[in-house]
Structure 1
Amino acid sequence: MICYSAPGNLMLMGEHAILHGQPAIALAVGNRLSVSLIPRVDEVVTIESELGRYQSALSELTDDSTFSFMVAAIQLCQSKLKQGFDLKVSSQFSDQVGLGSSAAVTASTLACLLNFCGEPVTNDQVFKLALEAVHRVQFGRGSGTDLAASIWGGLIAYEMNGAKVRPLKGTPDIDLFYVGYKMKTPDVIALVNQRAEADPAIYASIYQLMGQVTRAAEEAIESQEWIRVGQLMDQYSGLIDALGVCDTNLADLQFRMRQQSGVLGAKISGSGLGDSVISLGLTNPSEIPYQHLPVSIHSEGLKQESM
């Protein structure tokens, strides 16, 4: 058996602007997802997880919306695969709460497949193939920020241009609450793009400001100025609001989290119009009437598990 695991991830800063040439900051959490591969003697491929079961012939892989990222990963390695296999997915977090399950499962699957084919399993190679798999599924969309966080682990700065990953210092306390619903990221991005077409200059300025705030946050993290990072998170929150993707519940949740004595800053983590709010610093969950998702920053990224 071959088994690899990757952590879930969260966006700390850079939402939306990352797609317009600006940097992002993301992090890996302690909640992990693992994929195990068991070789078969035939050419059948199966996938099993809490979401269901998939089966297909290796030579004629069928599409499946539930396992689209894993199937895309297999397709990328298809020419090197000589026999079938069973893949089993096990996760410490739900795919419904915005912790980057798609990135974690894509990276872990590709690591298993590369190992199975006798290829080197490096962060750079897994990232390259995983991003190609994501683009296949999402019609060319996807910045790769979530993949970078899950593969490298810890706190990272990332830029799409050249796929540059810069590990950052520090594992400060964070907290996370789920608002109870989320709109799919591609749908949110399409909505923002539609609005941007009506005011291109204004939206370009917003993305530029987002980039400035993110770069300032990267500098503050490197110098361990966490109060400053919290202030910049609040500033970025205002810019996300300016894009029109902060609704009533998200605004309420953010302000409730900021009122907590241990919180330095809070903002939406993700594309908005649902999903989660992240804080720098810890809250008292009993005082906030939303679903609490206990998380922490972990330095360990993609790794092979001993079986």
Structure 2
Amino acid sequence: MKSVKASAPGNLFFSGEHAVVYFYPAIVTSVGKRTFATATERSDNVVEVESAAFGKATAKIQNGKLENRELEKKELGSILDLCEKTIQEFSITNGFSLSIDSQIPVESGMSSSTAVLCACLKAITELFGKSFKEEKYFDFLLPLQVRIHGGKASGTEIYSSTFGGFNRVQKVNDDGKISQKVKNLGKQEFSVVIGNTKVRGPTALVVGSHHPSIIKRFPEMVEGSWKKIEKIVNSMQSSIKKGDSVKVGKLMNNNQKILSKLMVSHPKLDDCINEALKAGALGAKLSGAGWGGVMFALVKKEDQEKVAKAIESTGSEAIITEIGVEGVRLEA
């Protein structure tokens, strides 16, 4: 049976997560930890998904829909939704199997769910010989990401996981159609250490419930915070282009203070951030939804191991990896 393997990277936000949902800019980079999806032909009409993180799910293709769904965990529902949408888009009638494995921690703030969607879409379309350009991924995947994120999403991670690199991204509403305004910031030589707190960060809860709550109760504070973050993004963009890692680090610290004020940090994140800074990190902040998940530290190359050990001293996992890597791709 024919098989196709594809992968997509996770992401880190240097600045602007949360604000980016509300049409403010963010700076995001792809990371060297990837999700892998292998699509394999079947001789029947069954779609079978096997995920290393969430177990198995099955369904049958009937009249362009996936019927008789059986899932070991609810998180697999979004993958079946992607399969159904792809089946409908390309009139696929043959069944297939999807095997998913990931280097990205689940619910960590590193865009694990987006990397899964991108890798699976690439694997399925290539398996059936369907031409689907990466430029179309955003519109195709955004409704699924919105559902995963509790009703609101910027789509920033879709762009980053699809195209990779180091980018300034801003959600734009053009007469009701959501798109992305993107500026590539070029190849950068920055070094980072990621700290995985192992506390799962519930993106849907933070974005779907916490945001509306604080916006309703503290509208001026929240709006003021978004505007401060926008200034940080603008200043950071200039500093990144100059390769000024010291200034970028200071701006990361400022962004983290605002995120803490917005009540999206977590004691374990704060612990990792403080230890990283004490060990000589140039800057450190959470990435993604918060309330757990990951933080990362911007460091001098020679300080990576020292900062990694400082993060590990908190009981968290330290991850040293590249940033600005290639986006979705086929694997040999």
The interval holding the TM-score normalised by the smaller chain is: over 0.9
What is the identity, as a one-letter code, of the residue corresponding to 1:47? V
Q: Secondary structure at the match of 2:58?
A: strand
Partner in structure 2 of residue 31 of structure 1:
33
1:302 aligns with 2:328: yes
1:157-204 Cα deviation digits (max 9, x unpaired):
111112123222213100111223133012123223212212212211
Partner in structure 1 of residue 251 of structure 2:
232
What is the identity, as a one-letter code, of the residue corresponding to 1:69? S
Write the distance in 1 (CA, Å) between the matches of 2:140 and 2:82. Answer: 8
Query: For residues 63 and 159 of structure 1, do their structure 2 counterparts lie closer, same or farther at Cα, with a shift above 3 Å needed?
Result: farther
What is the identity, as a one-letter code, of the residue corresponding to 2:320? P
Shift of 1:92: 2.4
Equivalences for 1:1-307 in 2 at 5 Å? 1-50=3-52, 51-59=54-62, 60-61=65-66, 62=69, 64=71, 65-79=74-88, 80-138=91-149, 140-161=151-172, 162-169=179-186, 170-189=188-207, 190-261=209-280, 263-281=281-299, 282=304, 284=306, 285-288=308-311, 289-290=313-314, 291=316, 292-306=318-332
1:225-276 Cα deviation digits (max 9, x unpaired):
2211111111111111111222333223212211223x21111112222222
Tell me if the contact between 2:110 and 2:294 (Cα under 8 Å) persists in the aligned partners.
no
Write the distance in 2 (CA, Å) between the matches of 1:63 and 1:23. Answer: 39
Shift of 1:58: 1.4
Gaps of 5+ in 1: none
Tell me if the contact between 2:7 and 2:34 (Cα under 8 Å) persists in the aligned partners.
yes
Query: How many residue pairs were aligned?
Result: 305
Write the distance in 1 (CA, Å) between the matches of 2:261 and 2:86. Answer: 42
The TM-score normalised by the length of structure 2 is 0.86
Moved more, 90-99 or 22-31: 90-99
Write the distance in 2 (CA, Å) between the matches of 1:69 and 1:207. Answer: 30
Shift of 1:28: 1.3
Query: For residues 137 and 273 of structure 1, do their structure 2 counterparts lie closer, same or farther at Cα, with a shift above 3 Å needed?
Result: closer
Percent identical residues: 25
Shift of 1:77: 1.8
The TM-score normalised by the length of structure 1 is 0.92
Query: For residues 180 and 135 of structure 1, do their structure 2 counterparts lie closer, same or farther at Cα, with a shift above 3 Å needed?
Result: closer
Q: Secondary structure at the match of 1:297?
A: coil
Shift of 1:119: 2.9
Write the distance in 2 (CA, Å) between the matches of 1:54 and 1:7. Answer: 23
Shift of 1:303: 0.5
Moved more, 164-173 or 78-87: 164-173
Write the distance in 1 (CA, Å) between the matches of 2:107 and 2:290. Answer: 14
Backbone CA RMSD of aligned residues? 1.9
Write the distance in 2 (CA, Å) between the matches of 1:157 and 1:39. Answer: 38
Q: Secondary structure at the match of 1:182?
A: coil
